[in-house]
Structure 1
Amino acid sequence: MRIAVLDDYLRVSQQVADWSSIAARAEIVVFDEPLGTQERAAAALADFDILCTLRERMPISRMLIGQLPRLKYILVTGKRFDQIDAEAAAERGIAVSNTRVDGRGGGAVAELVWGLMLSLARNIPREDRLMRHGEWQHAMGTTLKGKRLGILGLGGLGQQIARGGAFFGMDVVAWSQNLTPEKAEAGGARYVSREALFAESDFITIHVAWSERTTGLVGAPELALMKPSAFLINTARGPIIDEQALVATLRARSIAGAALDVYWQEPLAADHPLRSLDNVVLTPHLGYFTRDMLQVYYGDAVLAIEAFLDGKPIDVVNGVKRR
């Protein structure tokens, strides 16, 4: 039995969880770089029985599943499994499981949101870089208190951000496709229209789930509504923003700046235009990437793989109960 631990770029999976019980029963191979194309993935994974993903870093499509003759089990770390064709796996009798949801996940992302927001407001990354070259003060900062914070999506994570906004003395407003004034008030925000959220907010942070309906939800029309002094933060998913429209907006300096943790294609290409802009703060999908969360994900992965090896898979999401 061979197990592929996918997209573990820093090889942390074996550090934060004890895999010894599995290593005694199967061969574990860690892939520390993206496999890229479906063809490369098919060639690299053809001899594996179990795939263990790190969140949604790697899509496992119907085509790829069809090219993996030994595949018996897919374990997804985290709640969401949108990138896995669970139906195609079920047709082959391949069980797909996910791991439990842990409250520290939302906390980790919320903390990063505030780090990014403060980085934008106080020019922290740029001033740090310039200080290292002997420079001293290049721009005035922006105070959060009294500013309007627009939250796009007021679920559990959005509500955490709303509470933080209240702490900083911000005027917190929210909009999403299913939000009502009553739900907004219960979540710690004031409901506004989509147009008002973009046109009147000083900071906008995105917390809707990525789906077909939310792909491109923030496009050129929405960006055009934003104030020249406004900032945009995205720690949700890259495709929620029209990336080309955002690059054009930042180049034209039609908004003050953006902070991004997620992108249409990850890892972000070395020559991507976002890397050359001085009014954007970039982080490499760090939202969930803390030791605390990785201990939860990989610790649960060990338990799930053990259960599968025992013939009793747990937390199966596609109805396949036996191997």
Structure 2
Amino acid sequence: MRCVILDDYQGAALALADWSGLEGVEVSAVREHLDDEDALVAAVGAAEILVVMRERTPLPASVLARLPRLRLVVTSGMRNASIDVAAAGERGVVVCGTASRPTPPVELTWALLLGLARHVVPEATALRAGGPWQSTLGRDLAGSTLTLVGLGKIGTRVAAVARAFGMDVVAWSPHLTAERADAAGVRLAPSLVAALAEGDFVSLHLVLSDSTRGLLGPDELAAMRDTAYLVNTSRAGLVDTAALVAALEAGRIAGAGLDVYDVEPLPASDRLRSLPTVLGTPHLGYVTEGNYRTYFTEAVEDIAAWLAGEPVRLLT
């Protein structure tokens, strides 16, 4: 029996879990991203088991139909919108997942926010190149306002860090209640526009759905201060990317810290790569050693359970 691990960019999958206990299973990993369906099908071949990393490689019905021997798909995390779970079920393919720690994206949110506030990248680049010594003025976090769009597991942890910095925190989400906001020590904004208008920094922490897709469009971005920074470590689809680029180019907001994009890997010619007011990272929010150990260790557990006919962590 064959197991293929896709999108192992760092070559870490085989080292961060013990795959040797899967007797009779030949495990291999593919490091390069395969965005061509024919190349993907060729790489997977006759494998019965597929391990995928988040939403890096979609598995639509058209791909699943070309993998007749596939019987099990394991994804990192318990949510993966890029897998057609219904189509998999129709073909008798079990789709299951793993735990995912909420702290890594919280930490990256603050890396981006601090990087923007203190102009870390341009100053560090100038230092390395022998450029001017101190050319920017940093923004103070203490006393400023952080707007959180979404106050779930990740947003609540971001709020706790903000309070430690001495920031005022205001939050909004479609179903956020005053009781939940109070419990997190933040103020509840009456509307999304009101929340955006208050923020010196705005950070997004919502699940992408039909109701939240494009939540921040031209009007919402126009509600932000021209001195405000937007940070998105959640999902690119929450923001109208064309409207964001236009706002950044026109200086209608001060900058953006982005870890998620409409197309990943981000094309080399994409404008977001060259805008001077964008601090971009290549979807690193969940990419930590601890998270990877969890993903691949539990992937091995899922495969072992499936082989033994025991229950697995099913996606729905």
Alignment counterpart, residue 139 of structure 1, candidates 111, 131, 136: 136
CA distance in 2, matches of 1:185, 1:156: 15
The corresponding residue for 2:196 is 198
Contact 2:78 2:96 in 1 (8 A): no
CA distance in 2, matches of 1:195, 1:313: 45
The corresponding residue for 1:163 is 160
Alignment counterpart, residue 128 of structure 1, candidates 116, 124, 133: 124
The corresponding residue for 1:115 is 111
Offset at 1:311?
2.8
The corresponding residue for 1:20 is 20
CA distance in 2, matches of 1:72, 1:53: 14
Contact 1:79 1:99 in 2 (8 A): yes
After the TM superposition, which segments of 4 or more aligned residues of structure 1 sit over 3 Å from their partners?
A: none
Offset at 1:316?
2.3
The corresponding residue for 2:295 is 297
5 Å matches for 1:237-248?
237-248=235-246
Contact 2:104 2:285 in 1 (8 A): yes
The corresponding residue for 2:248 is 250
Q: Which amino acid aligns with 2:240?
A: D
CA distance in 2, matches of 1:270, 1:206: 25
CA distance in 2, matches of 1:38, 1:267: 16
The corresponding residue for 2:176 is 179
The corresponding residue for 2:96 is 97
Question: Does 2:149 match 1:152?
Answer: yes
Structure 1 segments unaligned to the other structure (5+ residues): 319-323
Offset at 1:40?
2.8
Contact 1:56 1:80 in 2 (8 A): no
TM-score under structure 1 length normalisation: 0.94
CA distance in 2, matches of 1:208, 1:316: 23
CA distance in 2, matches of 1:224, 1:41: 41
Offset at 1:82?
1.9
CA RMSD of aligned residues (A): 1.3
The corresponding residue for 2:262 is 264
Deviation readout 1:72-106 (Å, 9 max, x if unpaired): 111111121222111111111111111134xxx21
Deviation readout 1:87-138 (Å, 9 max, x if unpaired): 111111111111134xxx2111111111111100000011000111112111
Contact 1:49 1:71 in 2 (8 A): yes
CA distance in 2, matches of 1:140, 1:109: 27
CA distance in 1, matches of 2:193, 2:315: 38
Question: Match of 1:14, SS?
Answer: coil
The corresponding residue for 2:2 is 2
Question: Does 2:313 match 1:311?
Answer: no
Contact 2:197 2:225 in 1 (8 A): yes
Offset at 1:285?
0.9
Offset at 1:264?
0.7
The corresponding residue for 1:321 is none
Q: Which amino acid aligns with 1:157?
A: I
Contact 2:196 2:223 in 1 (8 A): yes
Offset at 1:54?
1.0
CA distance in 1, matches of 2:76, 2:35: 20
CA distance in 2, matches of 1:205, 1:56: 21
CA distance in 2, matches of 1:46, 1:240: 35
Question: Match of 1:204, SS?
Answer: strand
Offset at 1:313?
4.5
Structure 2 segments unaligned to the other structure (5+ residues): none
Offset at 1:317?
3.0
CA distance in 2, matches of 1:125, 1:96: 41
CA distance in 2, matches of 1:263, 1:275: 11
Offset at 1:283?
0.7
5 Å matches for 1:70-85?
70-85=69-84
Question: Match of 1:20, SS?
Answer: coil
CA distance in 2, matches of 1:45, 1:15: 21
TM-score under structure 2 length normalisation: 0.96
Deviation readout 1:12-49 (Å, 9 max, x if unpaired): 10111111122x41221211111103333233323211
Aligned residues: 314
CA distance in 2, matches of 1:258, 1:316: 36
CA distance in 1, matches of 2:151, 2:308: 41
The corresponding residue for 1:36 is 35
